[in-house]
């Protein structure tokens, strides 16, 4: 009987851990390297596998003191970036974070970074879930 109870408990714990993962996938995660303490930009492709809407509300990394979600827009022929509080993902939708569109602003580096290395970034969702993604540091010419 103890074995059965232990098995059921372990199964419940595994199901709870799986349920805590956001139903999304991320590909092509990269950050554009710039010298010194210049802000860098993070790009990726995010796909919802959920039947319900999701909202990406932010990101964090031990390699940066601050990260914000930005959107590049053009108004009256002038392009500029604006901070956004979140990006909504509809069920089964894919959104590309790329130059000229949505991107992460990566500010206040806490250490030197070099092209070729990988940096962990935690994406935060409106329902409290998180997803850790490894971003590859690329040179400017890689875009």
Domains, the chain, in order of start with CATH, read 23-142 (2.60.40.1890)
| pTM of the model as a whole | 0.80
Spatial distance between the Cα atoms of 98 and 110, rounded to a whole number of angstroms: 24
Written as six digits, the tokens of 88 are 């909504």
Residue 44 class from Cβ within 10 Å (0-12 exposed, 13-18 middle, 19+ buried)?
A: buried
User: Block means of pLDDT (10 residues each) for the chain, length 143 residues?
Assistant: 46 48 87 92 96 95 97 86 95 95 96 95 95 94 57
Q: Are strands 24-32 and 130-138 parallel, antiparallel or unpaired?
A: parallel
d(CA 96, CA 108): 24
Token pair for residue 127? 């329902």
pLDDT for the residue 14: 45
């Amino acid at each position: 009987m103890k074995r059965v109870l232990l098995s059921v408990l372990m199964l419940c714990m595994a199901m709870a851990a799986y349920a805590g993962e956001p139903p999304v996938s991320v590909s092509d995660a990269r950050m554009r390297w710039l010298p010194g303490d210049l802000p860098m930009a993070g790009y990726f492709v995010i796909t919802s596998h959920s039947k319900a809407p999701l909202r990406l509300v932010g990101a964090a990394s031990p390699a940066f003191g601050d990260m914000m979600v930005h959107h590049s827009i053009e108004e009256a022929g002038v392009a500029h970036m604006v901070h956004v509080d979140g990006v909504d993902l509809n069920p089964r939708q894919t959104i590309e974070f790329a130059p000229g569109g949505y991107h992460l602003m990566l500010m206040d580096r806490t250490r030197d970074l070099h092209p070729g290395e990988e940096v962990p970034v935690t994406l935060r969702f409106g329902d409290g879930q998180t997803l850790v993604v490894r971003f590859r540091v690329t040179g400017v010419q890689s875009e």
